[in-house]
Homo-oligomer: A and B are copies of this chain.
Amino acid sequence: MDPLFEPRTVAIVGASRDRKKLGNVILHNFMRGKFKGKVFPVNPNATSILGLKCYPSVEKIPGTVDQAVIVVPAAVVPAVLKDCGAKKVKAAVIITSGFSEVGAVELENEVRRLIQKYDIKTIGTNCIGIFDPSTGVDTLFLPPARLNRPGAGSIGFITQSGAVGSAAMDLAGRQGLGFSKFVSYGNATGLDETDLLEMLGRDPETKVILLYVEGVRRGQEFMATARRVAAKKPVIVLKAGRTEAGARAAASHTGSLAGSGQVFDAVIRQTNMIPAHSIAELFDYARVFSTNKVPKGKRVLIITNGGGAGVLTADAVVQSGLELAVPSERTVAELAKRVPSYAVLHNPLDLVGDADAARYEAALRLAAQDPGVDSLVVIVLYQTASLEPTINDVVVRAARASKKPLVAVSIGGQYVERQRLAVEKAGVPTFEEPERAVRALARLTEYHLRRPAP
């Protein structure tokens, strides 16, 4: 049992009857969601909150308490930790802000000493804490009507910034992505990025790790851990505060020393983590890495029904450091029997504007068998009248049947967006921009080509 992600008993210290208060939203989260354990509101000024008996202190709760979620003012946090220590609480999530990020360094140091003294596994301070879609642990104090909770999946997300992290998860959930664990650790008074990376590295539910950091505390330990974890599973990193101006902003945000972008780039290269330069890239890469397909090399085949889209994609392939595959003679000869004479049997393979699903099917089958092709970009411009609705099955089946990574690109309005989402939900990474599709494929390829043999 992990007391942070699978507690059986949780105390909400600072629970409140006021619906606008964080202590109300969080208590609600544990009562409304998937959480199967017991939850105890703690507040000396109430006898009952949301129909639950309220306790004046953690110590007064009967039985063991696995986890305390702390949402009291900063000055009160030390007293609450002593209360937790007396009760032998195993884990804590300290939501409260007002520590080193506003200059209250001594108060934060006191909190750190108490955490260590009582050996409490702690997330925070100055964070929004934990969301685990399978166990229902949910300390996110943002109302579900405004911040959607995504479903369970294989992405673990570690974020220094609670607001950016949760907004990004909200965005990703809208696109159908599922999460194993979300952790916002704020000032890292307790566990820091290195601890959490280690934890998610060992977590069997987490297949891909996303990391948003402004600064890293223990450089050497972080590098060693990152190298070890990245050899097992992909670790995609967005480093904020890359520039001097950004680093200054980070200092007043989570009180962390951001360190230069260039130094961090070197760390990323040496550890074989995957660099993302925006929230969009973080999830683009997560979707492609989640498919578990391993490219054997850099040679990409582009299949399209629109010449211009093929041109843009060919540019992107070359500019991203990948290569254009040369289809084998067999592929070309077999395809020539199945497509009209005006199709273009090079790379991009242009099935032209009147392509139907059968033409795609033939091209995808031959590409899967072609030893000169390592991965595929399939562009479907759905607007043409000749494309039957079965095109989606063709693409999804091809992606599932082949060991080669496949990304799909489509550009358009409502009709196209519906088709794209259907393909995405069937497990194929889809993109509205060829450049983003190719960039994700490039990161996947680099990661696997650099990865040490197991």
Contacts and interface: CB of A to CB of B under 8 A. Distances in A.
Interface of A: 20, 25, 97-98, 102, 141-143, 145-148, 159-168, 170-171, 173-174, 212, 214, 240-246, 248-250, 252-254, 258, 261, 277-280, 305-312, 314-315, 317-319, 324, 342, 344, 346, 348, 350, 353, 381-386, 410-417, 432-435
A432 B305 CA distance: 29
Counted per complex, copies of this chain come to 2
A315 B381 contact: no
Contacts of A277: 435
B252 A346 contact: yes
A250 B417 CA distance: 27
B415 A148 contact: yes
Contacts of A164: 306, 308-309, 312, 411
A193 B374 CA distance: 37
Contact of A278 (B148, B241, B342, B435): B435
A115 to B, nearest CB: 23
Nearest to A143: B385
Contact of A309 (B97, B163, B317, B435): B163
A214 to B, nearest CB: 6
A433 B278 contact: yes
Nearest to A163: B306
Contact of A412 (B171, B246, B258, B317): B171
B315 A241 contact: yes
Contacts of A146: 382-385, 415-416
Given A20-B385, A315-B245, A318-B246, A170 B412 contact: yes
A245, A252, A386 — most chain B CB neighbours (10 Å)? A245
A214 B246 CA distance: 38
Given A161-B307, A350-B252, A170 B435 contact: no
Contacts of A386: 20
A310 B254 CA distance: 12
A307 B252 CA distance: 8
A105 to B, nearest CB: 15
A170 B249 contact: no
B163 A308 contact: yes
B312 A381 contact: no
Contacts of A170: 383, 411-413, 416
Given A214-B308, A214-B311, A240-B312, 14 more contacts: A20-B385, A147-B383, A159-B308, A163-B381, A164-B411, A170-B411, A170-B413, A171-B432, A248-B314, A249-B348, A253-B308, A278-B435, A280-B432, A280-B435
Contact of A167 (B142, B245, B254, B381): B381
